[in-house]
Structure 1
Amino acid sequence: MRLSISKEEILTRQERFLQKLLEKELDCAILFSPIDIFYLTGFHFHPTERPMAFYIDPEHKTHLFVPYLEEEHAQDFTAQIHYVHSYPEYPGIKHPMEYFKDELVKAGFQGKRIGVDSIGYGSPSGYRGPSLDQLLEAKEFQSIKYVIPDMRAVKSPAEIELINESCRWGNLAHRLLQKYSKPGLSELEITSRASTESTLAMIETLGADYKPHGETAFALFRGQIGEMSAYPHAVTQNAVLKTGDTLVTASSASIWGYKSELERTMFVKEVSKEQETFFQYMYDAQEVAFQHIKPGKPTSYVEEAVQRYFKENNITHLTRHHTGHAIGLLFHEAPFFDLGDHTIMQPGMVFTVEPGIYVKGLGGFRHSDTVLVTENGMEMLTYYPRDLESLICY
C-alpha cells in the first residue's frame, strides 16, 4: 500500500480549495493553521513562535512563508508549491510579519477581497505581532476558517486506507498493553513496553517509506486505572495495577498524519457484578450508536438515540460527554455526535463511537471504535474484541 497522500491528490485539494474561494468571490487567501497547511501542501512542520503561512495570490499561484530555518525543508517536502519565501528569525530586527507584508504587497494583495482562517498568526510559544488588518489595506477580510476542515470531513479512498493502517498498528499496541497489564506493574512500565514493542514492529514491517507525521504506535491508560478511571480525561498517575481494577485504555498510530482511535474497558483478573452491569450498559449504548449511523441522517440523530437509551435505563446522570467525533489528521475533528450538531452524515466520513458511563468510586466504562460511514450504513475499522470475557487481563 502507499504510505502517503500522492502529489496528484494534494494538487486536487488545492484546486478544490481555489474553487471554493472563487465561489465566495474572493481574490486570494491566507492560511495559518498548521494542519490545514499540511493538508494542502504535504509540508509537515512544528509550529513555534516563528510565523508560517500558506497563501494563494490573485493570479492563483501558491506560496509558503516560512522562517529561514525551514526554507530548505519546505522546498524539499512540499508536494507542489510555486514559491517559498523566508525571513531571518523571530523576533528579529525587522518583525517577520513586516516581511510577510512585503511579500503580500508584491503578490498583489492590497485592496483585494482576502479569505483568512485567522486575522493573524498566533502561537502559545511566546509569539507577539501585528494582525493582517494592521498590515494590509484590503477591500475585505472574510473568514474562511472552516473551509479546509469541511473539506477534510469526507475522506478519500487513500485517506481511508491510511486510517485503516493506523487501526492495524493501534490493534497491535493494544494487544500488547493487555498482555502486560498485570497486578503489581506500574502504568508507565506497561504502556512504555507496549508502545515501544508495537512501534518497533511497525517500522520494521512498513520500512523506510513510513512517515508518522505524528505519534508512532502507542497504547496507554491516561491515568484511567481503578477509581481514577471514573474521570473521563484523567492524566497519567503512574498507578500500580491491582486485582479488580477497572482500566480504560487508548491506542493508535499515526500514518502520514492520519489517526484512528481504539479504546477499551478492561479489568484486572476479576470482575464484580457491579462492574459487569455498567460494562453492559456501555456496550449496549455503543450498539445503539452503531445502529443509527446512516448516510443522510444528521449527526445529532445518533446522539439522540444514545441519550434515549441512557434515559430509559436511568443512567443519564452517569454520563459526561457526547457519543463521538470525527477523526483524521487530528484525533478530534468536526462534526460531532452531539445534540447540537446537525451535520448530515455522508459516505467517507470517519468517526469515533465512544459513549461513556462514569461511576465515582468504581470506575469508567468506555469503548471507542473508529467507523466509516458507507453508502448503506457504517463499517467498523477497528476490530479489537469488545466482549467482557475477552477484556479481562489475566
Structure 2
Amino acid sequence: MLLAIPKEEILERQTTFINRLHEHQIDCAILFSVTDIFYLTGFHFTPTERPMGLLIDSTGKTHMFVPALEHEHTEMNAYVNHVHSYPEYPGIRHPMEYLKDVLAECHFTGKTVGIDSDGYGSPMGYRGPRVSDILSANFVSVGGWIQEARLIKSPNEIELIKESLRWSHLALRLLQSYSKPGLDAIEIEGRASQEASLTMLKALGQNFKAYSGYGNSAFAVFSGQVGPMSALPHAITQSITLKKGDTLGTGSDAAVYGYHSELERTMFVQEASREQERYFNLMVEAQNVAFRTIRAGIPASKVEEEVQRYFQDHGVTHLTRHHTGHSLGLLMHEAPFFDLGDQTILEPGMIFTVEPGIYVEGLGGFRHSETILVTEKGMEMLTYYPRDMESLICG
C-alpha cells in the first residue's frame, strides 16, 4: 500500500483550484492555512513566528515562501515550481517585507488576488503587517475553498484513513488490556500509546510518515474521562487512579500521512451497575438510529433530527451536550457536522464520526465514536472494535 497521496493526485488538486480561480476571474492567490497548503503541495510544516505561505501566480505557477531554515525541507517535500526563502530572525527587516518583494517579482501588484486570510497568523508569537498593508491589489476571499474540496475523500485518502484505523484499534486494545484498578491513567495511556506506535513503525517501515503533532504516531487516551470525570465530554488528561466500577471514556487515533480517524469506546473497570448499563444501551441505540439514517442525498441535519427524536422519546435530551458527529480527514474535526443547523447534502465519499453522547453527572459519560464512509445506499462502518458492554469490561 502507498502510505502517501501520490504526486499526480496533488498536482490534480492544484489544477482544480487554479481552474476555480480562473472561473471567478481571480488572477493570483496567497494561502497561509497549514492544512490547505499541505493538501495542495504535500508540504507539512508547523506554523511558528516565521511566516510561510503558498503563492499561485497568474500563469498557474506555484511558489512557496518560507524562512531560510525551511528551504531544503521545502524543496525536498513540496510539489511546487519555486521556493523563495528569506533570512532568519533576528533581523532588522521583517519577513513580510521580503514577501512584498516576492509578490512584486511574481507580478501580483494591481491584480485580483484571492486570499484565505489577510495575513499570516500563528499563536507562537508572530507579529506583523497584513497582506493588504504590503500589496496594492483587489483582494477576494477564497477562504473555505480548500475545505470544500476536502469534503469528498479520494480512494487514496480513504485507504490512508483505513490504515489509521488499523493502528487506532491496536492502541485502544492495548489501553483496554492495561486498564486495571489501582493504576494511573497517564501511565496506562503512555504504555499503550508507545507500544502501539513502536509496533506501527516496525510494520510500516521507513517510508511511513505520520505528519502529526502528537508525540506518538498511534495513541490511546482517557483524556481525563475517568469515573465521574467522564461526564465532561472534553476533560483534560490528568493523573487519576482507576478504581472498580469506574466509567471510562476512551479514544484512539493514528496519523498516517497527515490523515486521521476516530475510535472511541465507553468502558468500565471490572464491573458496571444497572444504571451504567441503562445509559450505555441508550447511547448504543442512538448510534444505531444514526446508522439507519445516513445515506447520500439527505442533509446532514436529518441525522441529528432522528437522533434527537430518539433522545426525546426516551427522556434523556437534557443529558446530551453535542452534535451526533462530524467530518474528519486531515483534521480531527472538519465540516460538515451532523447538527440541526447543517444543511450540507451528504455525498458518497464523505467520512464522518458517529458519536451521540449521554452525560450523567456523578456517574459518567457514555459515548462510542465510529468512523464511517457515506455510500450511495447508506454507509460503510470503517471501525470494527466491539460495541457491546460485555466486551468493554476492563481488568
TM range (shorter): over 0.9
Superposed, which structure 2 residues align to 1:131-142 within 5 Å? 131-138=130-137, 140-142=138-140
Is 1:26 paired with 2:26? Answer: yes
> For 1:334, what is the secondary structure of its paired residue?
strand
Q: What residue is the counterpart of 2:320 in the other structure?
A: 319
Q: Distance in 2 between matches of 1:262 and 1:308?
A: 25
Superposed, which structure 2 residues align to 1:69-218 within 5 Å? 69-78=69-78, 80-90=79-89, 92-138=91-137, 140-214=138-212, 215=214, 216-218=217-219
Query: Shift of residue 91 of structure 1?
Result: 5.6
Q: What residue is the counterpart of 1:392 in the other structure?
A: 393
Residue deviations 1:78-131 (CA, integer Å, cap 9, x gap): 1x2110000112462111111001101111111111110001101111111111
Q: Distance in 2 between matches of 1:116 and 1:311?
A: 44
Letter in 1 for 2:344: T
Q: What residue is the counterpart of 2:352 in the other structure?
A: 351
Q: What residue is the counterpart of 1:52 in the other structure?
A: 52
Q: What residue is the counterpart of 1:334 in the other structure?
A: 335
Q: Distance in 2 between matches of 1:377 and 1:23?
A: 34
Is the 1:191–1:221 contact (alpha carbons within 8 Å) kept by the matching residues of 2?
yes
In 2 relative to 1, CA 90–24 (structure 1 residues): closer, same or farther, beyond 3 Å? farther
Q: Indicate the larger mover: 325-334 or 19-28.
A: 19-28
Q: What residue is the counterpart of 1:258 in the other structure?
A: 259
Q: Distance in 2 between matches of 1:258 and 1:320?
A: 27
> For 1:14, what is the secondary structure of its paired residue?
helix
> For 1:304, what is the secondary structure of its paired residue?
helix
CA RMSD of aligned residues (A): 0.8
> For 1:208, what is the secondary structure of its paired residue?
coil
> For 2:150, what is the secondary structure of its paired residue?
helix
> For 2:263, what is the secondary structure of its paired residue?
coil
Query: Shift of residue 238 of structure 1?
Result: 1.1
Superposed, which structure 2 residues align to 1:238-277 within 5 Å? 238-277=239-278
> For 1:205, what is the secondary structure of its paired residue?
helix
Q: What residue is the counterpart of 2:293 in the other structure?
A: 292
Letter in 2 for 1:21: L
Letter in 1 for 2:376: E
Residue deviations 1:246-296 (CA, integer Å, cap 9, x gap): 000010100000000000000000110000000011101111111111101
Letter in 2 for 1:217: A
Task: List runs of 5+ in structure 1 lacking aligned partners.
Answer: none
Q: What residue is the counterpart of 1:278 in the other structure?
A: 279
Task: List runs of 5+ in structure 2 lacking aligned partners.
Answer: none
Is the 1:49–1:90 contact (alpha carbons within 8 Å) kept by the matching residues of 2?
no
Q: Distance in 2 between matches of 1:356 and 1:278?
A: 10
Letter in 2 for 1:33: S
Q: Distance in 1 between matches of 2:89 and 2:358?
A: 47
Q: Distance in 2 between matches of 1:376 and 1:2?
A: 29
Task: List structure 1 segments (4+ residues) > 4 angstroms apart after TM superposition.
Answer: none
Query: Shift of residue 314 of structure 1?
Result: 1.0
Q: Distance in 1 between matches of 2:89 and 2:359?
A: 46
Q: Distance in 2 between matches of 1:123 and 1:271?
A: 45
Q: Distance in 2 between matches of 1:377 and 1:141?
A: 42
Letter in 2 for 1:168: R
Letter in 1 for 2:103: L
Letter in 1 for 2:7: K
Letter in 1 for 2:286: A
Q: Distance in 2 between matches of 1:375 and 1:66?
A: 43
Q: Distance in 2 between matches of 1:281 and 1:89?
A: 57
Is 1:230 paired with 2:243? Answer: no
Number of residue pairs the alignment of both structures matches: 392
Letter in 2 for 1:324: G
Q: Distance in 2 between matches of 1:51 and 1:190?
A: 39
> For 1:102, what is the secondary structure of its paired residue?
helix
Residue deviations 1:280-320 (CA, integer Å, cap 9, x gap): 11101111111111101111111111111111111110000
